[in-house]
């Protein structure tokens, strides 16, 4: 798990930022009774709109856990107000105070961390490629679909310099292009590509390569800077959830299995995720101990 050390410690270093003298996010939440949370609507299984028009996903369930912890901390009822954000505007909407927090499929990066504060990471991920099994690649014509201004696009461009890159507004558009042969591969986070693959009419004709991510990343929530009290509450909520999964708390296990269990929306091998949870918990506790 050494590959996660830099990501985890970098996320944790923001937990002890200097507070601002302006109204903080948690003060505003306490005053209004509303937690404005940004999330995507096209990032299954983390956050998306299902066939019934409902906002659902693993990240949304985690936001509900954060909402419950806020209610406990503030001794009042809090309304979770979900606000759609995109890869283009998610950071700006937090910076401008339009949302208090964003939780979806955003990877921690050092460049983003100069603009916002990240929570502890809550899911391991990394760039992989969705391909058609019957495709015979030609190096001179290797076409890769990317969503601009994403970590996946940066990684693909770095590692596949010989490819021709084709921009898409979102991965759903890229999937359609892959299915009709307009591109040879679609770059994305492996877990999102698996969720996307399962929406295809012919999922068995698609594969994700390579078996392990090219560049390991981790998903985390992020907040406006100078809100250490809310950031710490978010961290505690996420850590408690991960601990609950590892200790077989019924509610936490049910949430995890809904999305990633054998009968879940996107079944995965849970062992690497459990290892990631334990490593995150240990790193968080070590970081807190060093602050004492």
CATH number of 126-209: 3.40.190.10
Q: How far apart are CA 80 and CA 36, in angstroms?
A: 6
pLDDT at 162: 83
Q: How far apart are CA 32 and CA 101, in angstroms?
A: 15
> Where are the chain's structural domains?
2-125+218-291, 126-209
E strands in the chain: 34-39, 42-43, 47-49, 55-56, 79-84, 101-102, 117-132, 143-146, 164-167, 185-189, 206-209, 216-223
Per-residue model confidence as pLDDT tens digits over 35-90: 999 999 989 999 999 989 999 999 999 999 999 999 999 999 999 999 999 988 99
pTM to 2 decimals?
Answer: 0.85
Q: Residue 35 pairs with which residues in a beta bridge?
A: 80
The Cβ-side half-sphere exposure at 203, using a 13 Å CA radius, reads 9
Which has the closest alpha carbon to 188: 105, 123, 89? 105
Which residues of the chain fall below pLDDT 50?
Answer: 2, 15-20
Whether 126-209 and 2-125+218-291 are alike in CATH topology: the answer is yes
Q: Which structure tokens are listed for 234?
A: 């978010």
Q: Which fold has domain 2-125+218-291?
A: D-Maltodextrin-Binding Protein; domain 2 (3.40.190)
pLDDT at 134: 77
């Amino acid at each position: 798990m050494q590959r996660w050390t830099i990501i985890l410690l970098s996320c944790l270093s923001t937990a002890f930022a200097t507070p601002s003298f302006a109204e903080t996010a948690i003060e505003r939440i306490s005053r209004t009774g509303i937690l404005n949370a940004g999330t995507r609507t096209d990032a299954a299984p983390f956050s998306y709109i299902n066939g019934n028009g409902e906002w659902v996903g693993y990240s949304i369930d985690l936001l509900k856990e954060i909402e419950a912890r806020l209610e406990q901390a503030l001794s009042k009822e809090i309304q979770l107000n979900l606000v759609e954000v995109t890869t283009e505007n998610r950071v700006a909407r937090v910076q401008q105070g339009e949302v208090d927090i964003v939780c979806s499929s955003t990877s921690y990066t050092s460049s983003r961390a100069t603009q916002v504060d990240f929570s502890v990471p809550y899911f391991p991920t990394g760039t992989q490629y969705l391909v058609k099994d019957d495709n015979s690649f030609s190096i001179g014509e290797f076409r890769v679909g990317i969503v601009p201004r994403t970590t996946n696009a940066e990684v693909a461009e770095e590692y596949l310099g010989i490819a021709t890159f084709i921009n898409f507004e979102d991965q759903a558009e890229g999937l359609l292009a892959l299915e009709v042969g307009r591109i040879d591969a679609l770059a994305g986070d492996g877990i999102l590509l698996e969720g996307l693959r399962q929406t295809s009419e012919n999922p068995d004709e698609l594969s994700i390569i390579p078996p392990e991510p090219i560049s390991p990343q981790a998903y985390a929530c992020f907040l406006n800077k100078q809100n250490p009290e809310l950031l710490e509450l978010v961290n505690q909520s996420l850590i408690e959830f991960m601990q609950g999964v590892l200790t077989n708390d019924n509610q936490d296990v049910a949430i995890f299995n809904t999305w990633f269990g054998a009968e879940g929306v996107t079944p995965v091998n849970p062992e690497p995720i459990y290892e990631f949870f334990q490593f995150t918990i240990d790193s968080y506790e070590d970081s807190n101990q060093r602050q004492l």
